[in-house]
Each structure stands twice: as structure tokens, then as C-alpha cells.
Chain A
Amino acid sequence: MKLSVKRLMGATAAAALSLGIGAGAQAASHSDTFKIGLVTFLSGGAAESFGVPALNGGKLLIDMLNKGELPAPYDQKGFGGMTIEAVEIDEAGGATKQVQEFRNLVQREKVDAVLGYVSSGDCLAVPPVAEELKAFLVLYDCGTPRVFEEGSYNYVFRTAAHATMDNVSLAKYMTSRGIKVDSYAGVNQDYAWGQDSWADSVASMGVLMPDAKASTALFPKIFAGQYGTEISAVMREKPDLLHSSLWGGDLQAFMLQASARGIHKRMRIALAAGDHVIPQLGKKMPDGIILGARGMNGLAARAKGGELVDLLWDRYKAAYGVFPVQAPFRMWQGLLGVKSAVEKAMKANGGMKPTAEQMAAAMKGLSWEAPSGTITMALGNGHQAIQPNAIGTTKWDEAAGEMTLVDVEYYDAECVNPPDGVKAVEWIKAGFPGAKCD
């Protein structure tokens, strides 16, 4: 019955459209659905911080798109008139399991596209399979630059900037805000994310603040939970700045333990991706913390405002009781990127449901507006996005009873991301050649 109503509505819409523009060939496509696999962490350590907020944001946006509730240029229902149907998959279980899940999505579920993956390990493991199956794959979250710096794909795209811009922006923030840094320390997790983040930070500081010395670099185990010794080590060193890319429960525990010992009163703390713990920590996140959100996401996007941001912010908050942090923003830019590519491909093929090849051709080098700013597929031969970034400082608003971001600095995408064909670390070490900053 549900299907019949959908078909009836689709047919009505198609008939109306064919009367209006005389495109009879589109009728069949408009009655169709677009099946998309959404893969993100629904269990495990990354679920609460990244996976679940992203999926919540994705479900909300898909519902709004299917009802045609977004402003132009996204006012056409679904994807090009096709109803979006999501198939949700838990990313937990490791790369081998995810490769199998991807095959299931493509070969058994017959999805038209897959949008997913938070883990860098999964982002490196799944693309070769997408190429083998000729399946349209969009990576929406993971940060490793290696996906397109070390690989080349036809059917694989990433709609979020890689992690390089997080630490380049932080270093630029120190210089532009005149923050005195003679020495800095780091507490980052002991795996690729933490190690790369610290390496990017040291390289960026080396270029922008060459007199600042990197002192203690600590790499506690992921999900360690206890940071008393690391906090003592940093406090004993007395650096001017503490850099950290901790995330999720680790960051929450670290901030609880560090702020109780007054560490934020003795040095500035810069969190490369720290916005996502604010809904949980609230006032326990001290004022004066320099905060990134891996893009112009969350509080930084709210501070800038805009029709799309305000609409999605209010709807997300109403639906889930908390404000959207970076994860839903990245899911939104991924979904809107797929929508833009699908509709561009449909324009080119006469309104038919596009094939994976047609979607890939449409997405290559594409540029679209998202709540997090203008996203451009500028790197990796048109397969890797760059996006603007923002860094701000935390300030608790006592009257409103909520955290705000003040002294926000916005960075153009081409200012904090390397040009195409240049490896991120080499670009930083060379002094950001080709960067276009206002």
C-alpha cells in the first residue's frame, strides 16, 4: 500500500513535470527510489561522538529532502525527484568486516551509492573493492590524506577535507591572534590519527612560529581513560600551549581530569577536533580553550549563520535535544554532494536514474554549498574535497546556559589545504606554497 501511494505520487509528479517541460523520458526515473548505504559507527568507542550524531543528522536530512523541505538549490524532492532510501550499516568490526559489508551492500542490497566510513583504516581498505565492483563510493568523514595521495580511483570520492587543515589552521590561529608560544607540548593518541595530527602540528608551528619549541610529546593508548601521569608530565614542563587531537571518551576524561587540576589556568589548550564533546561536558569545558571542529562545523558554523545552517541546526536540536557537532555537518555535506552529483548527472542523461559511471563523472571536480561552507572537489584529480575551516575560543554564556565560540577566525579552503598533486606534509614543510589566504 505504501509502495502504491509512493508510485502514485511519483507518477503524478512525473506527469506534471512532463506537461511542464515535455521531458517524457524522465517519467520512469521520477517514480524510482535511490538506495544509499550509510555506513558509520553505531557501536564501539566512536559511536557516541561520531557515528550516532552523523547517522541522526543523515536520517534527518534524508527525511527533509524526501519531503522537499530544503531551500534552493536543494528544493527538488529526494535526489532528482527519486525518494531516498537509506540502508544503515554499523562500521564496527574492522576493515575486513567492512569490505564484506560493502560487497553485501552493492551486490545483495543493490544500493546505488555508499556514503560512509569514519575510520581511516576502513577508508583505505574499501576503495579498491569499490573500484573492482565499479560502485559509487563517497567517503564522508575519515581524515587520513593517504586515500588519494597514495591511491587513484574512478568511483571513489571524499566529500570532507583531510586532516591537514586542522593543524595548519590551529597554527595560523596562534599567529593571527597574537598568542605567545615559546614552547608547546602534545597529548595525542598512539595511532595514525594522533601521530599524524602531532606531526602536522609540529610542521605547521615550525613554519609559522619557528622560535616555538616542541617539548613533551605524549602518546597514550587509545581509550586509556586515565591521564593523571600525562597531565603531571605536561604541568611539570610548563609549556605555553598544549596541543591535543584526543576525541570522544578520551577527550572527555582528559578534560575532566586536567581541568580539575587547573591546567587551563597555566597554559593555553588547543584541541584540533574538540567541539564534539561540548554537548556532554557543557560547563566542564573551561573558557579559553582553542577549539577546532575539522571544518566550519558545529558552533563555528552557527556563529557564522546562514539559511541552511540555521534550518538544520534548529531541526536537529528539536529532534535530538542537543546541537549538531562536527559529525552531522560532515554527513550533511556528503549527502548534499551526492544529491548535487546525482542531479547534475540526470541533467546530462536526460533525467534518467544515473549509473555509477555517470555519478562519478558528475562528481569529479564538483563544487556545492553545504552548511559547512563551499565544498570543492579540488584535490586527488577531482576526487578529494577541500573546505573552509574555522577556529575559535570557548566561552560559557551564563545567561543562555550554553557554550559559545568567540574570537572565531575563518580560513578559506585554499588557504589551509594543499594544492592538487602536492603531499600535505611536504606542502607544510615548504611553507604552504600556493596557499590563497585573504
Chain B
Amino acid sequence: MDLLLVILVDGLIYGAWLFIISVGLTLVFGVLGILNLAHGSLYAIGAYATATAVGIYFAYGGDAFPLGSYIVMAFSALLVAVVIAPILERGLLRHFYHRDEVIGVLVTYGVFLILEDAIKLIWGVDPLFVYEPYDLLGMVEAGPLFYVAYDFLVIAVSAVTGFAVWYFLNRTRRGKVMLAVIHDREMSQTMGVNVDKVFLLAFGTGVFLAAFGGALTAPMISVSPGIGVNVIIVAFAVIIIGGLGSIEGAALGAVMVGISRAASVHLMPELELFIIYFVMAVVLFFRPEGIFVRTQTRKI
């Protein structure tokens, strides 16, 4: 019983972290039709921006109100989105919307390479540490083990983020317009939807979610060059399991990957690296488009 609880908790912690990173990736694909390979770099920039901003916060009296560092983390991610999203979307990506999806992959791969070097140019190769927010909330006992309370904060933030994205898409006018664009871009345009604006909003939200994932991760790692590379691989596995472009799919995919990986580490550690891709292969065998995406008829 204790083992099941530990697997569940570990799986949810890992899955929650994965969901925040993956949901932006799947949103951008759903709306823009671009598989954004630079998503990992945007995650890394979010981590760097947070490490810098929170470092400054504590250097200038943040100790008096340490919980304020969480607000700084969120604003850092927002700042990254506000600065970078318009440059990338307006300046580059919009020129490739009508091209083949492979072109989009190549373009964002180029952006990824540029951003990785830009990170080194701005922050250098020395790692940054911003562990204060990680220790702030103390420890929590769960079954036989102790966890850092921050991990549960990540689960809560992930759940709120997922709900907020779902609510926005399904219960607000702007969200429904975005869904209409996802469903049929050309028809939406014909009906008077400003698709360019929707694209910018969707891409900006995707960048914010990537950077926010980085911001939440920064306190528990050494923020150093290359941190975004591995993240993007697992995030792709998550959104492929759930179905490209599906928010619900990203949530289910993240939980499936989190729980299966945790079960593997506790029960059969030698399968840890294999299990994520095994789950993906099984899902694709039965549902080639992913769990939440139905096979579509081809439009001519």
C-alpha cells in the first residue's frame, strides 16, 4: 500500500511538471500547426530569467518577504513571453504558416540553435542557482517518505494551469474563437476572425507556459546551458501519447508518463528509460493519432 502511494505521489509530481511544459507545446501545434522545436529553449530562457530575477529579488531585501519570490517567478515567465513571442511569431513564424509542416520543424530547429547560443551569450556557461523558493515551504510527510512541499505546489499550479487553459478555450469567447481556428482556419477567416491575432495570442500563451515550466523548475536544478534539450524530448512523447494539439491529451499523457516512469523506477529500475517510449508505442499501436485525436478525413 505504501509503495502504491509513493508511486502515485512520485508519478503525479513528475507528471505535473511535464504537463506544464507540454501543454504549451500542444497548444501551439493545435492553433498554428507548427511543431515548435524551440519550446525547450523557451523553457530554458524561463529558467534563466527566473534565476536572475529571483537572485536580484533576494539580493535587494527579498528575505523580508520570501514568498514574494513566487510572484517574481511568474512575472519572469510573463516577461519572457511578452518579449520573445511577438518577435518570433510576427517576425518569423507567420511567414511559414502556409508551408509544409516539415518547414515549420526546420525553422523552429534553427530558432532552437540560435536561442541556445543566445543563452550562452547572455548568461555564460556558469550555472545559476536559485534554491530559496524550493526550501521555503518546508517538508510534507506522505506515507513512509518526506517530500518537499514545493513539489505539491507544482502539482497544484499544474492543475490550476490545466483548468485555466480548459476554461479559457471552452468557456470564453476568445477561447471559442481559438477553438474555431484550431478546427478550421480558413472557415474562421471567412467568418471574420482575425486569425493573425489568434495566432499571436496562442503562441504567446505557449511561450508563457514553456517559460513558466522553466520558472517552476529553476529552484530545483542547476540552471545551465542545455537544460531544455532533454525536456523537449519527453514533452514530445507526452503530446504524441495524448494526441497532437489536445489539451486533455497532454494532461493524460503527462500523468501516464509520470506514473509509468515512477512505477518503473520503484519496481524495475532497469526499464526506466524504456518505459516512456514503450507506453508511447503501445498507445500509437491502438490509436495512431494519439488518445484524444480522432483520425481526420483529408480535406481537398
Contact = CB atoms under 8 A, between A and B. Distances in A.
Contacts of B17: 226
A232 B230 contact: no
Interface stretch (A110-118, A255-263, A406-414): A255-263
Nearest to A252: B222
Nearest to A221: B273
A256 B131 CA distance: 8
Interface stretch (A2-10, A39-47, A62-70, A295-303): A39-47
Interface string B244-276: 000000000000000001100110011011000
B145 A232 contact: yes
Given A229-B14, A261-B146, A223 B221 contact: no
Contacts of B220: 226, 253, 256-257, 260
B113 interface: no
Interface residues of A, number: 37
B89 to A, nearest CB: 28
Contact of B222 (A52, A229, A249): A249
Given A48-B126, A261-B147, A256 B134 contact: yes
Contact of A252 (B2, B127, B272): B127
Contacts of A284: 129, 131
Interface string B207-242: 000000000010011101111011100000000000
A230 B273 CA distance: 13
A217 B271 CA distance: 12
A280 interface: yes
A219 B146 CA distance: 22
Nearest to A190: B273
B10 to A, nearest CB: 4
B221 A261 contact: no
B103 interface: no
Contacts of A235: 145-146
A218 interface: yes
A233 B127 contact: no
A225 interface: yes
B92 interface: no
Given A45-B226, A261-B139, A229 B131 contact: no
A377 to B, nearest CB: 33
Nearest to A279: B126
Interface string A217-247: 1111101111011101101100000000000
B227 A225 contact: yes
A42 B17 CA distance: 31
Nearest to A265: B146
Chain B interface mostly: helix
Nearest to B224: A249
Interface in A375-424: none
A233 B265 contact: yes
B10 A232 contact: yes
B174 interface: no
A48 B266 contact: no
A44 B225 contact: yes
A256 B222 contact: yes
Contact of B14 (A44, A48, A228, A236): A228
B148 to A, nearest CB: 5
A48 B128 CA distance: 11
Contacts of B151: 228
A346 B26 CA distance: 66
Contacts of A374: none
B149 to A, nearest CB: 10
B217 A236 contact: no
Nearest to A284: B131
A228 B146 CA distance: 11
A356 B272 CA distance: 48
A217 B269 CA distance: 7
A216 interface: yes
B176 interface: no
A286 to B, nearest CB: 13
Interface in A275-303: 280-281, 284
Contacts of A225: 217, 221, 227, 230-231
A47 to B, nearest CB: 5
Given A48-B126, A219-B272, A249-B221, A260 B134 contact: yes
Given A224-B230, A249-B221, A253-B221, A229 B148 contact: no
B3 A236 contact: yes
B185 to A, nearest CB: 36
Given A218-B265, A284-B129, 12 more contacts: A221-B230, A225-B227, A226-B17, A229-B13, A229-B14, A248-B222, A249-B127, A249-B226, A249-B227, A260-B150, A280-B222, A281-B129
10 contacts: A52-B125, A223-B226, A229-B14, A229-B266, A235-B146, A256-B134, A260-B134, A261-B146, A261-B148, A280-B126
